[in-house]
Structure 1
């Protein structure tokens, strides 16, 4: 019974109606970049500059203590910040329609120092 209803609706142009309803429901501002959004993205780039300076300073002044197993991976964070910056800049100054870069942020900033003693494994 339900299948016959869907079949009749498809034959009567229901998909066309739904697509028209969806497209007319979008406002033009949803498709275009507003000047406020552009200013906010430019402000985000300035904040990224400040954050990169802070991270670079911290990386230069942080020493890894002997015997310390884990430390913060500043280089990975800086690479992710550069990736975010490139994404914002490409949005602000698009050259032409191109596919997005599918690479993801690393996200894991805790690394194990090479040569650190391994914890003993529990034996059953």
Structure 2
């Protein structure tokens, strides 16, 4: 069975279009992945800090606490964006509406 060139091109284009839609993740999925990766970076920093304590004294030291703090702030910002806090409910103390709009006072 022979497939014409135009049908082959159409099949290839269809597969490419389907493939790009499958590969593209949503913004929320990408941000969730970034959060996961940053958590892994924090774990790597912790391991590196432990190893640095066992090495000889060096003149310069990496500030692990500052790096951990910065990563925590980034993760917190992403999590707040992905799951914003709900708005507080409005007060139910609305003014009473009387429904009387007719003014019967005399106009002189």
The aligned residue for residue 45 of structure 2 is 55
Structure 1 runs (4+) greater than 2 angstroms displaced: 63-66
The aligned residue for residue 56 of structure 2 is 65
Match of 1:94 among 84, 93, 96: 84
**For the aligned residues, what is the CA RMSD?**
1.8
Which runs of no fewer than 5 residues in structure 1 stay unpaired?
1-34, 98-124
The aligned residue for residue 76 of structure 1 is 66
> Of the two, which has the highest radius of gyration?
2
TM-score between the two structures when normalised by the length of structure 1:
0.45
Which runs of no fewer than 5 residues in structure 2 stay unpaired?
1-24, 88-108
CA distance in 2, matches of 1:65, 1:72: 14
CA distance in 2, matches of 1:45, 1:38: 10
TM-score between the two structures when normalised by the length of structure 2:
0.52
The aligned residue for residue 100 of structure 1 is none
What is the aligned residue count?
62
The aligned residue for residue 38 of structure 1 is 28
CA distance in 1, matches of 2:75, 2:34: 9
